[in-house]
Structure 1
């Protein structure tokens, strides 16, 4: 499912216009981004948690040359599904 299909589904399910569904999805995504940018966690009980994790700096290897390179530490987004979501999938 892509974003357009998601907008269509939400519009039908919530009995709202596609434009309103699009604004709601965009707002939701922006809230998640801003929360994670601050380093906070967003938890939706039963659905899951969006959080930021930090990967430590480490040495890697260039696959072409075999040369050792330094990889900087970085922050990465993580999603942990909730119990209800896990049960719904299985």
Structure 2
């Protein structure tokens, strides 16, 4: 596994669109771990970003690991009911 991808401090609608392709190169090579420890601000577009990253990981037959999820993001994932799809354990 390569080094974790460090998610930026801002995961809001303003920034998430620019991050859609951020994992494409790493997913072509390996299992990818995304570390959310630096995230300071997020909104529901962060969930959409995670769904797209997960879809791309599945298409590449790779595993996407998420670590240090902020509680606000975990809550949004639960609100949208996508924990199972994102393979997040409660």
- Which structure's residues are more often strand, by fraction? 1
Higher RCO, 1 vs 2 (CA within 8 Å, ≥6 residues apart): 2
Larger gyration radius, structure 1 or structure 2: 1
Q: What is the TM-score when the length of structure 2 is the normalising length?
A: 0.28
Q: What is the TM-score when the length of structure 1 is the normalising length?
A: 0.28
